[in-house]
């Protein structure tokens, strides 16, 4: 989650830079907001001023900010001469390739690598030559370099809804496969009102206890996995499963006592270890779903407001 | 005059010595089967990770105990008693968050261990693990996900950095000899692989998560001058494989990084390695709908002297899940289905499929599925023996339930092969995730962007033992666990032992015939593949857990 926050913040900072000349007051407000949520020193994007690399998303330094006047001049030139083929966002179109991921553009600092391409064209690939001066090339480069390339590219146009299924079919599936444990009028009453994010709702019914993928808390609490250990004497020890591997099983009994037992390496039968995972039915179902079943059940569950 | 001649002669002699010194590593040693030393990423060129050592064996492994442990301090702040030598092009103000993780091979040559983590190399005395020197590289940045180890030639070590340098240091002193820019930092390459020494070539592969092309470089070990470059994707009009991309621009941004070291067949002079996923990884339309995207997700053989491709076999045509086929392959000589001998190459791919190929020709021999849950491909293989992508299991706005999750059915932790059992041992995970397309505009999609993949759980984590004749899993050991860690890399020995970390922090010796645990010690999550070698007549088994190395030997 922290990772995403850092990314969004960097993006907003860049937007501030671009719009500063035009929306100075708005940008000022935004900057104030940004200051309010600055990370601790060293938590920003890498490259300058004691940065700390914490993930692939902040591993590469931003370019130094360009001169706002040069950006404006470059934008004007770009919109007239380049945008038609390379797109308003430099990501390319049918006519020209993406500049954002171009090795030449990435390696370019201030137009020195772009200049020969702009001034000579690439006639073999359908790019005409442009009679830009060196200063104009530098302005266009400054503008192009305001777009940040990232391997973990943030979504630009998010789909408004993930609901594509048939609620009736979903209800029928639910009755057949889920109703032994759950009921729309009982434990699931008002489910969609409690979990309003459609994707989080889908993830939650598929595997309760998992989050929505953005690091937020899981919206439902799953009862713990329990274990019963039958000792050679016949004594049964039961409790919440804390840990198990091929060699040791550890549990906490009802009175809060921690107990551990060695289990035979060869997989023998004493002590006998029986694990009760409340999510086992959900896990077993994973092997059986068609994606349409999942989409239909979600379409049904979003009606449980 | 005579004296001057003598001086020249002595200088020449010492120059020859520095190329193949008695204390250094003679490249010819690398051709020997794995035993007393561990001089390269896989120990030898076969990638089998099968040691001939038998002092520690199935009958006495229960007496194996700790000889020493060594915790390594990364960074420029000084090591554990040894001086830190600082190099690098960075200004020194970029720090790396997170704990130090040893995720690669440790070389053992002449009783010295050479260990790496991103930006760091250490030399340790193999007798007791004490530090001899520590080299620290001041970074400019780059993804610091791991470093797979160093290569050695004579008295010199070679390693790569996350900010894209190829560095050589003197193994005796830790002092830097030179460094070369091996890839473009501005294009967001980051280098993680262990270089490979073959004769007078040091081979280095790239890594990148943007849309930059993958390549292998061969360098001169003495000067660091580049000898050849092999791109894994078409870069120019007329290049082979270009017809499998939407256009040249797509190919030139197609990825296919050789993330891990390959293996080497001295008979044919072929360096055989795996390539990574095509990019953009998830929005595959810009690559050409349904087109193969050569030579991504493939096993590729290049001539080590020329860098020219001899053959390839693609294990995931048009991958859409970021599942590399970069796993280090394994070379096996043996009978194949009763006839032979046959020279083969084996690979278990991140996509959940296992392959046996002829290593002289690339001819396909066997495909099988080694994960029961993997569901991204159509039920039938194509006539070339390749799995066929099911587009319904790409990323979708409403979500597709896919196995495996992004980490794949296996990943970089290396497999091992035992000629005693004829089995390939593969670290295996069976996982599920919902794959959501979070970007509706494929135009300009880049790198690993435009999707969200959310886990829905792990069905199991295993060691799979695969018969290369049939591709069938002969046995698999399921780790009992409440945790979801990935399994570690593996080692097998002529002592009828298979070593590896489980997913609960235990280091375990298994019976390679059936996967039954025989010995274990809880040291924390194993973070590399175990290795073995001899020090003063005693066999050691070395393994890393995070920032600490543990050396085991028989109790005396």
Alpha-carbon distance B279 to nearest alpha carbon in chain A (angstroms): 10
Which among A89, A106, A162 is the nearest to B399, CB-wise? A162
Helices A2-19 and A24-36 meet at what angle, rounded to 10? 160
Tokens of B127: 């007798």
Q: What is the dihedral of CA B369, B370, B371, B372, to 10 degrees?
A: 70
Tokens of B43: 């120990």
Residue range B42-62: average pLDDT? 98
- Interatomic CA distance for residues A98 and A172, integer angstroms: 47
| Residue B21 predicted with pLDDT over 50 | no
Task: Give the range among A25-29, A136-140, A229-233 with minimum mean pLDDT.
Answer: A25-29
- Touching A: B residues 259-318, CB under 8 Å: 280
Q: State whether residue A188 sits within 8 Å of chain B by CB.
A: no
Total domains present in chain A: 4
Is the domain of A72 the same as that of A32? no
Is the domain of A116 the same as that of A187? no
> Do the Cβ atoms of B264 and B275 come closer than 8 Å?
no
At A269, which CATH number? 2.30.30
Alpha-carbon distance A176 to nearest alpha carbon in chain B (angstroms): 20
CB atoms under 10 Å from CB of A274, counted, come to: 11
Kindly list the residues from chain B whose CB atom is less than 8 angstroms away from the CB atom of residue A60. Answer: 141-142, 185, 188
Per the domain annotation, does A16 fall within a domain? yes
- Asked whether the beta carbons of residue B97 and residue A52 sit closer than 8 angstroms, the reply is yes
pLDDT band at A48 (very low <50, low <70, confident <90, very high): very low
pLDDT band at A6 (very low <50, low <70, confident <90, very high): very low
pLDDT over 70, % of chain B:
95
Task: Give the range among A175-179, A301-305, B1-5, B416-420 with minimum mean pLDDT.
Answer: B1-5
pLDDT band at A31 (very low <50, low <70, confident <90, very high): very low
Q: State whether residue B186 sits within 8 Å of chain A by CB.
A: yes
Per the domain annotation, does A296 fall within a domain? yes
Question: How does pLDDT run across A270-304, given as a tens digit for each residue?
Answer: 899 999 999 999 999 999 999 999 999 999 999 99
Kindly list the residues from chain B whose CB atom is less than 8 angstroms away from the CB atom of residue A199. Answer: 399, 436, 452, 454
| Residue B28 predicted with pLDDT over 90 | no
Domain end, chosen from A58, A82, A105, is at A58
Domain end, chosen from A16, A32, A58, is at A58
| Residue A16 predicted with pLDDT over 50 | no
Q: State whether residue A150 sits within 8 Å of chain B by CB.
A: yes
> Do the Cβ atoms of A208 and A194 come closer than 8 Å?
no
Which among A103, A162, A267 is the nearest to B184, CB-wise? A103
> Do the Cβ atoms of B217 and B161 come closer than 8 Å?
no
| Residue B185 predicted with pLDDT over 70 | yes
Q: State whether residue A267 sits within 8 Å of chain B by CB.
A: yes
pLDDT higher for A223 or A94? A223
Pairing verdict, β B196-198 and B201-205: antiparallel
pLDDT band at B30 (very low <50, low <70, confident <90, very high): very high
Kindly list the residues from chain A whose CB atom is less than 8 angstroms away from the CB atom of residue B446. Answer: 91, 98, 100-101, 149-151, 153
Question: How does pLDDT run across B107-153, given as a tens digit for each residue?
Answer: 999 999 999 999 999 999 999 999 999 999 999 999 999 999 999 99
Q: State whether residue A110 sits within 8 Å of chain B by CB.
A: no
Q: State whether residue A269 sits within 8 Å of chain B by CB.
A: no
Kindly list the residues from chain B whose CB atom is less than 8 angstroms away from the CB atom of residue A203. Answer: 434, 454, 456
Is the domain of A270 the same as that of A296? no
Question: How does pLDDT run across B453-496, given as a tens digit for each residue?
Answer: 999 988 899 999 999 999 999 999 999 987 767 889 999 999 99
pLDDT over 70, % of chain A:
80
| Residue A5 predicted with pLDDT over 90 | no
Is the domain of A18 the same as that of A116? no
Sign of the four-CA dihedral B506, B507, B512, B516: negative
- Asked whether the beta carbons of residue A210 and residue B398 sit closer than 8 angstroms, the reply is no
| Residue A32 predicted with pLDDT over 70 | no
pTM summary value: 0.91
Per the domain annotation, does A171 fall within a domain? no
Q: Which candidate, A179, A170, A209, places its Cα nearest to that of A289?
A: A170
- Asked whether the beta carbons of residue B455 and residue A210 sit closer than 8 angstroms, the reply is yes
- Interatomic CA distance for residues A295 and A208, integer angstroms: 16
| Residue B263 predicted with pLDDT over 60 | yes
- Asked whether the beta carbons of residue A294 and residue B399 sit closer than 8 angstroms, the reply is yes
Which among B94, B253, B522 is the nearest to A53, CB-wise? B94
Residue range A48-60: average pLDDT? 80
ipTM (interface pTM): 0.91
Alpha-carbon distance A38 to nearest alpha carbon in chain B (angstroms): 18
Which among A152, A265, A295 is the nearest to B449, CB-wise? A152
Q: State whether residue B444 sits within 8 Å of chain A by CB.
A: yes
Task: Tell me what pLDDT residue B450 has.
Answer: 87
Kindly list the residues from chain A whose CB atom is less than 8 angstroms away from the CB atom of residue B442. Answer: none
pLDDT band at B208 (very low <50, low <70, confident <90, very high): very high
- Touching A: B residues 220-249, CB under 8 Å: 249
Kindly list the residues from chain A whose CB atom is less than 8 angstroms away from the CB atom of residue B454. Answer: 199, 203, 210-213
Q: State whether residue A51 sits within 8 Å of chain B by CB.
A: yes
At A75, which CATH number? 1.10.760.10
Is the domain of A290 the same as that of A268? no
Q: Which residue of A has its CA nearest to B247?
A: A97
Residue range B171-186: average pLDDT? 97
B438, B475, B481, B516: best to mutate for the A interface, most A CBs within 10 A: B438
Q: State whether residue A50 sits within 8 Å of chain B by CB.
A: yes
pLDDT band at B81 (very low <50, low <70, confident <90, very high): low
Q: State whether residue B478 sits within 8 Å of chain A by CB.
A: no
Q: Which candidate, B366, B361, B292, B354, places its Cα nearest to that of B327?
A: B354
A49, A291, A302: best to mutate for the B interface, most B CBs within 10 A: A291
Task: Tell me what pLDDT residue B6 has.
Answer: 43
A-to-B residue pairs, Cβ atoms closer than 8 angstroms: 217
Is the domain of A117 the same as that of A13? no
Task: Tell me what pLDDT residue B202 has.
Answer: 98
Q: State whether residue B436 sits within 8 Å of chain A by CB.
A: yes
Q: Please, what is the average pLDDT of chain A?
A: 83
pLDDT over 90, % of chain B:
86
Task: Tell me what pLDDT residue B268 has.
Answer: 97
Question: How does pLDDT run across B358-367, given as a tens digit for each residue?
Answer: 999 999 999 9
Question: How does pLDDT run across A176-219, given as a tens digit for each residue?
Answer: 999 999 999 999 999 999 999 999 999 999 999 876 555 566 78
Alpha-carbon distance A267 to nearest alpha carbon in chain B (angstroms): 8
Residue range B521-532: average pLDDT? 97
Sign of the four-CA dihedral A129, A134, A136, A138: positive
> Do the Cβ atoms of B296 and B233 come closer than 8 Å?
yes
pLDDT band at A50 (very low <50, low <70, confident <90, very high): low
- Asked whether the beta carbons of residue A294 and residue B401 sit closer than 8 angstroms, the reply is yes
Which among A97, A165, A245 is the nearest to B480, CB-wise? A245
Q: Please, what is the average pLDDT of chain B?
A: 93
pLDDT band at B77 (very low <50, low <70, confident <90, very high): low
Is the domain of A184 the same as that of A77? no
Is the domain of A78 the same as that of A128? yes
Alpha-carbon distance A29 to nearest alpha carbon in chain B (angstroms): 29
Alpha-carbon distance A25 to nearest alpha carbon in chain B (angstroms): 31
Is the domain of A8 the same as that of A110? no
Task: Tell me what pLDDT residue B80 has.
Answer: 54
Per the domain annotation, does A216 fall within a domain? yes
Task: Give the range among B317-321, B416-420, B483-487 with minimum mean pLDDT.
Answer: B483-487
- Asked whether the beta carbons of residue A244 and residue B480 sit closer than 8 angstroms, the reply is yes
Q: State whether residue B208 sits within 8 Å of chain A by CB.
A: yes
Sign of the four-CA dihedral B509, B514, B516, B518: negative
Is the domain of A210 the same as that of A138? no
Is the domain of A181 the same as that of A296? yes
Residue range A104-120: average pLDDT? 97
Task: Tell me what pLDDT residue A152 has.
Answer: 85
Residue range A45-54: average pLDDT? 62
Task: Tell me what pLDDT residue B82 has.
Answer: 67
Task: Tell me what pLDDT residue B143 has.
Answer: 94
Name all domains of chain B by residue range, CATH numbers in brackets.
Answer: 34-554 (2.140.10.10)
Task: Tell me what pLDDT residue A151 has.
Answer: 87
Kindly list the residues from chain B whose CB atom is less than 8 angstroms away from the CB atom of residue A266. Answer: 516-517
Task: Tell me what pLDDT residue A214 has.
Answer: 58
- Interatomic CA distance for residues B542 and A40, integer angstroms: 39
Q: Which residue of A has its CA nearest to B98?
A: A54
Alpha-carbon distance A238 to nearest alpha carbon in chain B (angstroms): 17
Task: Tell me what pLDDT residue A213 has.
Answer: 57
Task: Tell me what pLDDT residue A10 has.
Answer: 32
Per the domain annotation, does A53 fall within a domain? yes
Per the domain annotation, does A127 fall within a domain? yes
Q: Which residue of B has its CA nearest to A94?
A: B443
Q: Which CA distances in Å does B146 have to B143, B194, B206, B260?
A: 8, 10, 13, 11
Which among B440, B504, B516 is the nearest to A266, CB-wise? B516
Per the domain annotation, does A49 fall within a domain? yes
Residue range B347-363: average pLDDT? 98
Q: Which candidate, A64, A62, A63, A42, places its Cα nearest to that of A53?
A: A42
Q: What are phi and psi of B365, to 5 degrees?
A: -115, -45
- Asked whether the beta carbons of residue A56 and residue B95 sit closer than 8 angstroms, the reply is no
Residue range B25-33: average pLDDT? 90
Which among B141, B398, B455 is the nearest to A59, CB-wise? B141
Query: Which range marks the domain in which residue A288 is found?
Result: 177-221+282-301
- Asked whether the beta carbons of residue B94 and residue A46 sit closer than 8 angstroms, the reply is yes
Q: Which candidate, B225, B231, B179, places its Cα nearest to that of B200?
A: B225
Return the exposure string of A168-202: e unless at least 16 CB atoms fall within 10 Å of the residue's CB, then b: ebbbebbeebbeeeeebeeebeebbeebeebbbbb
Is the domain of A187 the same as that of A289? yes
Residue range B438-457: average pLDDT? 87
pLDDT band at B90 (very low <50, low <70, confident <90, very high): very high
Per the domain annotation, does A249 fall within a domain? yes
């Amino acid at each position: 989650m922290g990772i995403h926050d850092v990314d969004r913040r960097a993006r907003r900072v860049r937007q501030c830079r671009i719009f500063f000349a035009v929306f100075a007051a708005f940008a000022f407000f935004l900057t104030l907001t940004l200051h309010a949520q600055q990370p601790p020193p060293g938590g920003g994007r890498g490259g300058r001023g004691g940065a700390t690399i914490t993930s692939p998303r902040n591993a590469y330094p931003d370019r130094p900010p360009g001169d706002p006047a040069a950006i404006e001049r470059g934008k004007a030139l770009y919109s007239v001469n380049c945008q038609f083929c390379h797109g308003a966002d430099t990501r390319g179109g049918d006519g020209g390739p993406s500049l954002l991921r171009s090795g030449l553009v990435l390696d370019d600092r201030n137009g020195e690598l772009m200049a020969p391409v702009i001034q000579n064209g690439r006639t073999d690939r359908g790019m005409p030559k442009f009679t830009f001066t060196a200063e104009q090339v530098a302005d266009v480069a400054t503008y192009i370099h305001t777009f940040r390339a990232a391997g973990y590219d943030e979504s630009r146009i998010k789909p408004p809804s993930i609901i594509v299924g048939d609620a009736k079919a979903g209800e029928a599936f639910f009755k057949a496969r889920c109703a032994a444990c759950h009921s729309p009028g009982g434990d699931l009453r008002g489910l969609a009102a409690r979990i309003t994010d459609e994707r989080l709702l889908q993830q939650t019914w598929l595997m309760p206890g998992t989050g929505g993928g953005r690091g937020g808390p899981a919206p439902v609490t799953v009862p713990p996995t329990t274990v019963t250990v039958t000792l050679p004497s016949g004594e049964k020890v039961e409790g919440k499963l804390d840990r198990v591997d091929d060699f040791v099983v550890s549990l906490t009994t009802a009175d809060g006592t921690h107990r551990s037992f060695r289990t035979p390496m060869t997989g023998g039968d004493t002590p006998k270890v029986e694990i009760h995972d409340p999510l086992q039915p959900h896990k077993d179902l994973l092997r059986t779903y068609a994606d349409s079943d999942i989409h239909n059940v979600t379409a049904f569950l979003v009606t449980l407001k | 005059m005579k004296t001057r001649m003598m001086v020249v002669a002595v200088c020449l002699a010492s120059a020859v010595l520095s190329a193949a010194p008695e204390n250094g590593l003679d490249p010819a040693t690398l051709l020997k089967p794995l035993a007393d030393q561990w001089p390269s990423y896989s120990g030898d060129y076969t990638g089998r990770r099968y040691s001939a050592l038998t002092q520690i064996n199935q009958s006495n492994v229960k007496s194996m105990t700790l000889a020493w442990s060594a915790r390594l301090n990364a960074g420029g702040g000084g090591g554990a008693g040894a001086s830190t030598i600082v190099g690098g092009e960075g200004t020194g103000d970029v720090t790396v968050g997170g704990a130090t993780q040893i995720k690669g091979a440790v070389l053992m040559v002449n009783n010295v261990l050479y260990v790496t983590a991103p930006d760091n190399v250490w030399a340790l005395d193999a007798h007791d693990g004490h530090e001899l020197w520590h080299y620290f590289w001041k970074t400019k940045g780059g993804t610091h996900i791991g470093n797979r180890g160093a290569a050695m030639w004579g008295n010199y070590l070679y390693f790569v950095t996350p900010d894209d340098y190829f560095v050589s240091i003197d193994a005796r002193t830790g002092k830097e000899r030179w460094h070369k820019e091996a890839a473009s930092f501005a294009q967001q390459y980051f280098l993680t692989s262990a270089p490979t020494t073959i004769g007078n070539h040091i081979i280095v592969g790239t890594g990148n998560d943007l849309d930059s092309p993958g390549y292998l470089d061969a360098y001169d070990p003495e000067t660091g001058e580049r000898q050849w470059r092999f791109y894994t994707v078409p870069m120019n009009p007329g290049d082979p494989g270009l017809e499998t991309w939407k256009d040249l621009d797509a190919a030139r941004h197609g990825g296919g990084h050789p993330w891990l070291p390959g293996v080497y067949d001295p008979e044919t002079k072929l360096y055989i390695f795996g390539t990574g996923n095509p990019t953009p990884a998830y929005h595959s339309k810009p690559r050409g709908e349904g087109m193969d995207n050569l030579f991504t997700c493939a096993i590729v053989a290049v001539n080590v002297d020329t860098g020219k491709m001899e053959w390839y076999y693609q294990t995931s045509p048009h991958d859409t899940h970021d599942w590399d086929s970069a796993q280090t392959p394994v070379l096996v000589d043996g009978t194949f289905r009763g006839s032979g001998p046959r020279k083969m190459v084996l690979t278990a791919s991140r996509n959940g499929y296992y392959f046996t190929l002829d290593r002289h020709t690339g001819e396909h021999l066997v495909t099988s599925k080694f994960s029961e849950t993997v569901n991204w491909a159509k039920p039938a293989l194509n006539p070339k023996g390749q799995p066929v992508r099911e587009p319904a299991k790409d990323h979708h706005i409403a979500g597709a339930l896919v196995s495996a999750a992004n980490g794949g059915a296996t990943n970089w932790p290396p497999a091992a092969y035992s000629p005693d059992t004829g089995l390939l041992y593969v670290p295996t995970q069976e996982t599920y995730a919902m794959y959501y397309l979070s970007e509706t505009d494929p135009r300009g999609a880049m790198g690993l962007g435009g999707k969200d993949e959310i886990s829905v759980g792990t069905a199991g984590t295993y060691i799979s033992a695969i018969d290369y004749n049939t591709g069938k899993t002969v046995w698999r050991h399921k780790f009992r666990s409440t945790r979801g860690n990935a399994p570690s890399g593996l080692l097998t020995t002529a002592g009828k032992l298979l070593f590896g970390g489980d997913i609960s922090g235990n280091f375990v010796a298994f019976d390679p015939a059936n996967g039954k645990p025989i010995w274990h010690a809880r040291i924390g999550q194993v973070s590399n593949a175990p290795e073995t070698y001899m020090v003063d007549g005693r066999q050691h088994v070395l393994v890393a857990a995070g920032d600490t190395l543990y050396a085991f030997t028989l109790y005396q």
